[in-house]
Amino acid sequence: MTATVPAPTDVVETDQMVQTIERLRSTVESGRTRSLDWREAQLDGIIRFTTDFTDELLEAMETDLGRPGLEGWIADIGSSINEAEYIKKKFRKWAAPRKAKLNVALQPASARIMPEPLGVALIIAPWNYPVNLVLEPMAAAFAAGNAIVLKPSEISPATAAVIAQNLPDYLDPDAFAVFEGGPEVSTALLAEKWDHIFFTGSTKVGQIVMEAAAKNLTPVTLELGGKSPVIVGDDADLDVTAQRIAWGKSFNAGQTCIAPDYVLVTE
């Protein structure tokens, strides 16, 4: 199967965007996403989608990134399935109420921590891991009982198309939506009110995201790039060290936020 790359567009249907967000928010407010069975169904949907569309996703990533299939499976497919399965195994425990300690001055009171869904989360995904950094934050957000709006990267359009055209079929349509497009779409999305924003990308754009979020005191998760050191100690096995540095720097053509950039050694 050949992935279809949609034509780029500068048109932002803000009315449709607002209506979609309101629909998702109504779903959360109805209490539907509080159900642990509902959350598990969304996790199952992510796993089934990734499994069913492995070949299409690998081909799309090769189109977008020139990445060979094995590396694509390691970097994006296998890791996404493993993460969703791990969350599925653990999320009921994470969602359960638990006792909290109180200061002695508040005795004989007792307290419990009651995990609650935040609401509607916005996920803005990058191009370098165009499946993994879509599905892993989605799995976490669904496990916490949130609805999701996804903005995949326009720089990996073939992969974004496979996701946008097929992933919604595996999820609750009243709790998930995808908006494709470039920076103009991200800008329009950031102008709306969210309950959490998850962004992966550059520090420069991360600052823009945080500034937009601050207007509504929206909590953010920012996974940003930077310059990552490798520390080599006196007792390091230099052959093993060199192999690991080379692997870390060359994997995914070095396009990883924690790929080594420089080495620190003792004098």
Residues marked as catalytic = 223, 257
d(CA 195, CA 185) in angstroms, rounded, equals 18
Alpha helix stretches (DSSP H) within the chain: 14-29, 36-52, 54-65, 69-72, 78-95, 132-143, 157-166, 183-190, 203-214, 238-250
Name residue 222's amino acid: L
Sign of the C-alpha dihedral computed for residues 40, 29, 200 and 19 taken in this order = positive
Tell me the C-alpha distance between 256 and 128, whole Å: 7
Between CA 18 and CA 192 the distance in angstroms is 8
